[in-house]
Amino acid sequence: MEKKFRALIIDDEPLARSDLKAVLTKFTQVDVVGEADNLTTARKQLDELSPDIMFLDIQMPGESGFDLLHDTGLNIKVVFVTAFDEYAIRAFEVNALDYLLKPVNEERLALTLKRLTLNETEPAVTNLPLIKNDNIFVRLTNSYHFIRLENIIKIEAADDYSVVFLKNGESHVVLKPLREWEARLPQDTFSRIHRSTIINLDLVCKLEPWFNNSFKVHLKGLHEPVKMSRRYFSDIKKRLG
């Protein structure tokens, strides 16, 4: 029998609570047992309802979602749900189960709930696969940021690091080898085209022959084409239709 997780939604915005509840109702393993629009009500409901998980907004009038964690001794999983990404580091410092950006996507929420049901002996949840419209939390140079996957043009290997090229013209060195990107990126959108390069297939403009049986891949947002090894050509051409 499938275990039911009792959930409490804490957000001062009625529409945000309604939207999240609507998405949660699509998952049979979750039962929303209560809602709160402030921390005073939330504290009371935590005592009365004993939920397994709370979906907690961070910015609320006069208080922060983090304040609730300081004075609750309940054994409860916490998922932060917010429109801002600057609190992400602190969220993970307090061992939050996950950190979701508004509006919450159904596929992304499914990953969160998968984390909830994983046994503690399972591999770290940071290794879970990503979805097309997801964000990935990475360190860029000297600070941490969320990168929306659709904004990535290509990723190039740099030993144990990688260089991420974005639509806005920026490029950033990330402490993440190419194999880790390949393991987590959605395969319907991203593909390796060379031992040192992964590209966003949605941004491919043109493929053309190059020297030594290789090919050139022209990508939106890049002035210069990217080299593709012959071994990848048939698969990429098939996937692009």
pLDDT-derived band of residue 141, with 50, 70 and 90 as boundaries? low
**Of 115, 125, 178, whose CA–CA distance to 152 is shortest?**
178
Q: Is the pLDDT of residue 213 over 70?
A: yes
Tell me, what DSSP letter sits at residue 43?
A: H
Q: What is the pTM of this model?
A: 0.61
Q: How many CA atoms lie within 13 A of 182 on its CB side?
A: 14
Query: For residue 105, which amino acid is it?
Result: N
Q: How many CA atoms lie within 13 A of 18 on its CB side?
A: 3
Domains of the chain: 5-120 (3.40.50.2300), 135-240 (2.40.50.1020)
Q: How far is CA 6 from the centre of its chain?
A: 23
Cα distance between residue 236 and residue 84, in whole Å: 36
Cα distance between residue 189 and residue 200, in whole Å: 6
Q: Could you give the percent of the chain with pLDDT greater than 70?
A: 85
Q: How far is CA 29 from the centre of its chain?
A: 21
- Residue 67 or residue 39, greater confidence: 39
